[in-house]
Structure 1
Amino acid sequence: MIAELGLAALWLSAALAVLQMVSGALGLRDSASPHALYARPAAVVQAFLATLAFFLLLYAFAVTDLSIKLVATNSHSAKPFIYKLTGTWGNHEGSMLLWIAVLALSGGLLGALERRMPEKTMSATLMVQGFVALGFYAFLILSSNPFERLPVPAVEGSGLNPLLQDIGLAIHPPTLYIGYVGLSVAFSLAMGALITRQVTPDFAKVMRPWVLGAWVFLTFGITAGSYWAYYELGWGGWWFWDPVENASLMPWLAATALLHSVSVLAARDALRTWTIMLGVLAFSMSMLGTFLVRSGVLTSVHAFAVDPERGAFILGLLGLYIGGALVVFAMRASSIAEGKRFTATSREGALVFNNVMLSAILAIVLLGTLYPLLTEAFDVRVSVGPPYFNPAGAIFAIPMFIVMAIGPLLRWKDDKPGRIQFEAAMLAAIVIAIVAVVAVLGDYAILPLLGLALSVALAVAAFLPLRGRNIRRVPTATWGMVLAHFGVAVSLFGMACESAFTSERLAAVAPGDTTQVADWTVKLESVDPVAGPNWTAIEARVLAARGDEEPTVLTPQARNFWSPPQPTSESALITRLDGQLYAVIGDSAGVDANGKERWQLRVWWKPFVTFIWYGGLLIALGGIVSIVGRLQVDLKRRKAKALGDARRDDLDEIKSGDTLPEPAE
């Protein structure tokens, strides 16, 4: 009955998506029509049913119901319980059901809670949201049914991809999906405002929490995914410009630009057209990422390589949603009022410049991701990796970081660059001094060197907007900006140090042999067979010591899973404040002169590599703090309006940082 109930819930949810779409369209024509009142409750009930369907599938995986095809092909009775649960979304159908559940839940929250927009704009938004949801329901029910029954229940399941049997899978995909779906809500809001010609600061204040929330989840998901790949795949890298990595990065780049644009619209009534266009672009990148992962055109540990028909379905949805949005944009963009003007030497000007830089980086990543796929269609195989992405991206990233450092110091609308000449000179002196010192100490590549210098300058610049202000009265949202910008500096510092200063040693060693990497002495003590719940392995016992300190034990493993059969490398790490020692055990390398079996041992010392992920967490934390700040603003505004004191409402808005006060002289 579990499968039948889940499928029935999906069909009812799809029917409610139709009702939501039709009711929203009727409300757009006449908001007083009684039929227009169904859009909100349809969204709420749809959220309940879609969430119910997902939890029914989760239960089927928890109890290993092998009569359901999806469970039989992606789980196993002997698999650890946590991986039975994560196996729910560790496959194509289950992950799409999670996507739809989050999409429906977001639409339900929007319909139930949002009362600040004009009713016609809300009707248009719910109409678009229902239309988006309906396409995904059709995709899931017609081509990717997660509740399909087997004619005869399987005796045993096939198991989950061993590379996905890690706690990181419990965090990485769901957070990314929430981010993607948050962008779908931003898209619906943008289309609703465009259709009703209500692209106003009030609309931006409604849209901003959704964009900010999506951006936070995308940031956290990418950070968690990077660290998962770093320690789980045993390759020693944290980013390789894999096409599916890029598929998550591109929506984040677009969402970052959208976040800044919608904040300017909310606070200064500027960038109206730019905000709508970025709303469409951000969701386009989410859809494109979905197509790349699920179309079968990519071969990756991240990808669900399915049949091309499913990819064609998603490509059709992409063309329908984005093509339709662009048509509406072309028809209505001329009717959007210009908004308030500003000069290039203003905070708005700095934000526009950096949005252009982010868009350029997005274009570079998009081209590098799609170009090999296009050439492969003509039987020409081309590899596009770091030699293209790093220098091409740096052309735009470096000026972006420079403007990011000085932009928050500028005033809104208009400013004179000479007013911040001391701060600019100080930051320039920091960059020049670090480049000079590090260049004297060694022969390093130019990009890591510039990244290191800019990271320190950015870290200092992040706190300059607080200079001369009463810390206790700094708005919470401003603290969020400071934390996020400081997080960017921390991540950039970690990336630069890892690229410039990493040491690597690959050696064939027998038990009792030692090798050296940087200032670490590494000794292979023994290699023994071990077994886990659904795998066997060769486990090395390695002693690592730095200088005169006591040795630390590392136990890297070379595992062999038996359901499904697949070998994996399990790295072992020693974390210090200034970096990580990373060890991987490989295959047998024959015997030495004494008849002892030798093993391939690969060891890296990666200075400050953990700062990459600390910075990512700080960026996400900055977003969370900003959300809290915006909620404070909203609560104060509502309280003031309840008291009927419009003057107090305006004063609360200014004091709470909704207009981001000018930096102190």
Structure 2
Amino acid sequence: MIAELGHLALTLALAAALVQSVLPMVGAARGDAALMGSARATAILQAGLSGFAFAALVNAFAVSDFSVVNVYENSHTLKPMIFKIAAAWGSHEGSLLLWVLILALFGAGVAILGAGVPERLRARTLAVQAWIAVGFLTFLLLTSNPFDRLDPAPLEGTDLNPLLQHVGLALHPPLLYLGYVGLSIVFSFAVAALIEGRVDPAWARWVRPWTLAAWVFLTGGIALGSWWAYSELGWGGWWFWDPVENVSFMPWLAATALLHSAIVTEKRDAFKSWTILLAILAFSLSLFGTFIVRSGLLTSVHAFAVDPERGIYILGLLVVAIGGSLALFAVRAPAMEPGGLFRPISREGGLLMNNLVLGTMTGTVLFGTLYPLVLEGITGEQISVGAPYFDATFVPLMLVLAVFMGLGPLLPWKRADLAGALARLRVVAVLVLAVMAVVWWWRTDGPVLGLVAVGVATWLIGASLAEWAGRVKLFADPGAALRRARSLPRAAHGMMLAHVGVGVLILGATASTAWKEEALAFAAPGTSVEVAGYTVTMTDRVRVDGPNWIADRGVLSVSRGGEAIGDLTAERRFYPAANRWTTESGILRRGFSDLYVTVTEAVNEDAAGGARVLRAVYEPWVNLLWIGSAMLVVGGALSLSDRRLRVGAPRRAAPARGAMPAE
């Protein structure tokens, strides 16, 4: 009965979205306050109905209602409750329902929190948001109903993919979707502004908090997915340039550019066309990722490679949403006034360069993701584009971006003295050379690009801290520095923390890639393997029974120089219901570095005498990846809490002569 109520709630949510997509737009065109006001009520109603439907699906998983097809195909009675609940968004249908819910929640957020937004702009924004909701609700109800029934109901389910039964994957999709789908409201603001014919600093102020919120969630989701891949997949890597990873990374790059572009629009009334275009592209890339993952074009450990007919439907949505918004942009953009003038050497110039590099990085990832698909479609030849391509193209661009990130905040608006800004960073330059010398002495066998990356990361960290120290006059007047730090806007602290986080992340990515060491050996109890000065010894092999799995566990001891350091366990788990094996790694943390150990089956167990393969990997500084990611999230959240973003935008000024007329 609850499943039927959930289905009914989805149907009513579609009806509410249809009303929301039409009446507010008509009201905005006619100046009818009652019709425009209906957007608020219908947005909140749609969110409530979508929330009820999602709760009904979660309940079906929690009670193991195998009469629901989705539950039968993705759950099992012996599975721990956290993974039963997580399975609600671990399937194609459930993940789309989560998408619809978050879409409705962001619309309701604007309806409730957007009191300072002009009534016409808010009505149009919520109507555009409802257009997107209508597309996905229709898709959900017609092709991917999460409440389809089985009759008779099976006694047991077939279980969720064991690789997804991990705490990282329990939290990763909701965070990722809050970022992915959160960009929809920025897209809606952009399309509404184009329809209205006006983009100004007040509009940018309204858009920035929503962009920042989506960016924070997307950052957290990508970082959590990377940590899951590192700890669960058993290969010791944290990023594989998998196409499914790429389609989440591209919206993040576009959203990062949008954040910086919106600052210029707000502060200097410039970059208006660029900001609108980035708002459209960021969400368009999210839609593109949804199409790629669900169309069957890609197969991946965390892809929903399903019915291609569903992909055709999403492709239609993609064409309408992206094609329609870009066509509107093409018509309206030429009438946008350029805004404030600035010299190339200025903060505006630095942010422009920042956006150009980020745009190039996005294009690089897009090309590397699409090229194999296009080539296969034309010639039938199957190839993969992996780390060598991205190391040669993306990594140098990332280092160029980091250089500009360190210098840009030191430049004033409109015009700047480059020599003066560089003079303030003399100490940082000396620090960079010193760090590079130490790293070269420590690891003379590493690649030159790794040494350069360490220097660039040090530059970014040092320059960001120097800019912050200059603002609070830390060295000129230490006694009053704390008071000045307290009076600084939270966004200033957040920017510094996020920029330092990028530098820390680059350090972790560089060291764990350039100076990783590993060793392999056939291992039975009593055998050892040495890596990076550590000795890993298998002391025992035992069978362990879990709630819905059976494990072959290797018990390991770690020593260095004859001194015991710690113990580890690494497992091969078998999930009977899913008839699949997984590798559970053992990780011993040593400061910022990890000793990463897996025990896997031999290719030919008879030839190996029943032994397992023991793989030990030394991952230097790898934990800086998670520390840097956390700094990005905290920095973004700190900026989001800034009073200037919480109190809303100032009242709009009257249109300037020659500006696009409002409808």
Q: In the alignment, does 2:522 pair up with 1:494?
A: no
When residues 69 and 272 of structure 1 are mapped into structure 2, their CA distance, relative to the original with a 3 A threshold, is: same
Q: Contact 2:209 / 2:645 at 8 angstroms: preserved in 1?
A: no
Shift of 1:501: 1.6
Q: 1:116 to 1:637 in 2, by over 3 A?
A: closer
Task: Name the SS for the 1:583 alignment partner.
Answer: strand
Match of residue 421 from structure 1: 422
Structure 2 equivalent of residue 100 of structure 1? 100
Q: Does 1:257 align with 2:257?
A: yes
Q: Which amino acid aligns with 1:393?
A: F
Partner-residue secondary structure (3-state), 2:616 = strand
1:505 Cα deviation from its structure 2 partner: 0.5
Can you list the C-alpha shifts for 1:311-360, whole angstroms capped at 9, x where unaligned? 11111111110100001101111222211111111111111101110110
- Structure 1 residue 374: deviation in Å? 1.2
User: For each residue in 1:547-568, what CA deviation from the matched residue of structure 2 results, as whole angstroms up to 9, or x when unmatched?
Assistant: 3543311110011111111111
Aligned equivalents of 2:17, 2:23: Cα separation in 1 = 10
User: Which residue of 639, 652, 655 maps to 1:626?
Assistant: 639
Q: Secondary structure at the match of 1:550?
A: strand
1:387-466 aligned within 5 A: 387-440=388-441, 441-466=443-468
Contact conserved, 2:37 with 2:123, CA < 8 A, in 1?
Answer: no
**1:265-304 matched pairs, under 5 angstroms:** 265-304=265-304
Matching residue of 1:559: 573
C-alpha contact 2:425 2:466 (8 A) present in aligned 1? no
Aligned residues: 638
Aligned to 1:72: 72
- 1:605-644 correspondence to structure 2 within 5 Å: 605-629=618-642, 631=643, 634-635=646-647
Following superposition, the deviation at residue 597 of structure 1 comes to 4.9
How far residue 433 of structure 1 moved from its aligned partner, in angstroms, is 4.1
Matches within 5 A, 1:187-586: 187-377=187-377, 378-440=379-441, 441-468=443-470, 469=472, 470-547=484-561, 549-586=563-600
Give the aligned residue type for 2:389: Y
Aligned-partner SS, 1:351: helix
Structure 1 residue 416: Cα displacement: 1.3
Residue equivalent to 2:113: 113
Change (3 A) 1:586 1:285: same
Secondary structure at 1:302 match in 2: coil
Q: Taking structure 1 as reference, are residues 449 and 33 closer, same or farther at Cα in structure 2, changes over 3 Å only?
A: same
Structure 2 spans left out of the alignment, 5+ residues: 473-483, 654-663
The offset of 1:71, in angstroms, is 0.6
Relative to structure 1, the CA distance from residue 324 to residue 460 in structure 2 (aligned partners, 3 Å threshold; closer, same or farther) is same
Q: Helix, strand or coil for the counterpart of 1:556?
A: strand
Distance 1:149 1:589, change over 3 A: closer
CA distance in 2, matches of 1:551, 1:335: 68
Distance between the aligned counterparts of 2:204 and 2:338, measured in 1? 15
Does structure 1 retain, via aligned residues, the 8 Å contact 2:598–2:614? yes
Residue 439 of structure 1 and its aligned partner are, at CA, apart by: 3.7
Q: Which amino acid aligns with 2:262?
A: V
Hey, what's the Cα distance between the residues in 1 that align with 2:215 and 2:649? Answer: 25
For the residues of structure 2 that align with 1:187 and 1:110, how far apart are their CA atoms? Answer: 13
Alpha-carbon deviation of 1:120? 1.5
Could you tell me the TM-score, scaled by structure 1's length?
0.93
Offset of 1:545 from its aligned partner? Answer: 1.7
**Residues 41 and 112 of structure 1 are in contact (CA less than 8 Å); yes or no, is this contact kept in structure 2?**
no
Counterpart secondary structure, 2:25: helix
Output the CA distance in 2 between the equivalents of 1:621 and 1:118. 31
Distance in 2, Cα, partners of 1:117 & 1:336: 20
Measure how far apart 1:36 and its partner are: 3.0
Output the amino acid matched with 2:451.
L
Cα pair distance change 1:524/1:26, threshold 3 Å? same
Aligned in 2, Cα 1:101/1:634: closer, same or farther, shift over 3 Å? closer
Structure 1 residue matching 2:615: 3-state secondary structure = strand
Q: CA deviation at 1:421?
A: 2.6
One-letter amino acid of the structure 1 residue matched with residue 504 of structure 2: V
In structure 2, give the amino acid aligned to 1:419: G
Contact 1:348 1:412 in 2 (8 A): yes
Map Cα deviations across residues 403-424 of structure 1 (whole Å, 9 max, x no partner): 1111000001111112213234
Structure 2 CA distance for aligned equivalents of residues 473 and 139 of structure 1:
50
Cα deviation for residue 636 of structure 1 reads 9.4
Q: Deviations over 1:458-506 (max 9, x none)?
A: 1111112223423232221100000000100110010111112211011
- Write the distance in 2 (CA, Å) between the matches of 1:548 and 1:347: 56
Distance, in Å, in 2 between the alignment partners of 1:260 and 1:282 is: 13
CA contact under 8 A between 1:589 and 1:597: conserved in structure 2? no
Cα distance in 2 between the residues matched to 1:435 and 1:387: 24
Q: Would the aligned equivalents of 1:510 and 1:596 in 2 still touch at CA under 8 Å?
A: no
CA contact (8 A) 1:9 1:52 kept: yes
Deviation for aligned residue 1:226:
0.1
Name the CA distance, whole Å, in 1 between partners of 2:644 and 2:562. 53
Paired with 2:456 and 2:562, the residues of 1 have a C-alpha distance of 35
The amino acid across from 1:477 in the alignment is A
Q: CA deviation at 1:80?
A: 1.2
Listed one character per residue, the Cα deviations across residues 270-312 of structure 1 (whole Å, up to 9, x for unaligned) are: 2111100000010011001111111111111110111100011
Between the aligned partners of 1:565 and 1:509, the Cα distance in structure 2 is 25
Once the 2 structures are TM-superposed, how far is the Cα of residue 37 of structure 1 from its aligned partner? 2.5
* Preserved contact between residue 250 and residue 365 of structure 1 (Cα < 8 Å): yes
Aligned to 1:655: none
> Does the residue aligned with 2:392 lie in a helix, a strand or coil?
helix
- Equivalent residues of 1:589, 1:599 under 8 A apart: no
Whichever residue aligns with residue 167 of structure 1, its letter is: V
TM-superposed CA distance for 1:426, in Å, is: 4.0
What letter is aligned with 1:176?
Answer: L
User: 2:142 is matched with which residue?
Assistant: 142
- Equivalent-residue separation in structure 1 for 2:392 and 2:629 (angstroms): 22
Looking at structure 1, the residues matched to 320 and 263 of structure 2 have their Cα atoms a distance apart, in angstroms, of: 29
> Residue 168 of structure 1 contacts residue 228 of structure 1 at CA under 8 Å; is this kept in 2?
yes
CA–CA distance in structure 2, aligned partners of residues 592 and 69 of structure 1: 41
How far 1:28 sits from its partner (Å)?
A: 2.2
Letter in 2 for 1:382: I
8 Å Cα contact 1:508-1:589 kept in structure 2: no
CA distance in 2, matches of 1:207, 1:551: 52
With the length of structure 2 as denominator, give the TM-score of the two structures. 0.93
Deviation at 1:150, TM superposition (A): 1.2
Amino acid at match of 1:344: P
How far apart are 1:453 and its partner, in Å? 1.2
- SS of corresponding position for 1:444: coil
Shift of 1:633: 5.4
Equivalence for 1:8 = 8
1:26–1:33 CA contact under 8 A, matched in 2: no
**Once the 2 structures are TM-superposed, how far is the Cα of residue 589 of structure 1 from its aligned partner?**
7.5
Letter in 1 for 2:201: P
Distance 1:547 1:265, change over 3 A: farther
User: Which residue is 1:654 aligned to?
Assistant: none
CA deviation string 1:583-615 (max 9, x = no partner): 00011588999x975321000111110101110
Looking at structure 1, the residues matched to 604 and 193 of structure 2 have their Cα atoms a distance apart, in angstroms, of: 69
Query: Retained in 2: the 8 A contact 1:76–1:158?
Result: yes
Report how far residue 425 of structure 1 moved: 4.1
2:614 to 601, 625, 628: 601
SS of aligned partner of 2:238 = coil
Distance in 2 (alpha carbons) for counterparts of 1:33 and 1:235: 59
- Whether the 8 Å CA contact 2:551–2:574 is kept in 1: the answer is yes
